[in-house]
Amino acid sequence: PATQQLPSSGFRFPLHGSSPLLKDLMGTPPRSDWHKWPNHPIYFSSAIFDKSVHPCKVEPNRPDLPSPCSVVFDGTVVFHKGCYDLLPFNPDIMELVRASEGRIPAGRWPIKGGYEEDGMPLYHGGIDANGRNV
């Protein structure tokens, strides 16, 4: 049987800032330890803007936030209330690996998270910056 090639940006679900988040479609969070609060998973997503698409995170169990979708621009968290595409994490075909200085480990490839206005690709990743997951 032929195996299916994973698209460079993964399989996604289109959502909007006011969309209900369907837990059964979201799958397993990429890492259960990417949060400080119990039962508050974080998911990868891509926020859609007029001229660009940016990697972002979705925190579905945080009603205290202005929107479940947030993007980091120049070190500032911006809550996105517009359209975004949720990337369900499938541990059978995806894994998080350590990378540094733009080098991806051999045999692994990044998942595209979007692009800048000039077309430069942007990729998903996660860091713990001063105790805050971004």
pLDDT at 71 (0 to 100):
93
CA 103/CA 107 separation, integer angstroms: 12
Q: Stretch 19-36: mean pLDDT, rounded?
A: 64
pLDDT of residue 6 exceeding 60:
no
CA 56/CA 7 separation, integer angstroms: 18
Q: How many CB atoms lie within 10 A of CB 33?
A: 9
Start-to-end Cα distance in the chain: 39
Full-model pTM: 0.79
pLDDT digits (tens, 9 = 90+) for 55-109: 999 888 888 889 989 998 888 899 999 999 988 887 888 888 888 888 889 998 8
CA 126/CA 134 separation, integer angstroms: 6
pLDDT digits (tens, 9 = 90+) for 28-55: 777 655 555 556 778 889 999 999 999 9
pLDDT of residue 127 exceeding 50:
yes
CA 117/CA 28 separation, integer angstroms: 31
pLDDT at 49 (0 to 100):
94
Q: How far is CA 133 from CA 4, 56, 57, 99, 130, in A?
A: 32, 11, 9, 16, 8
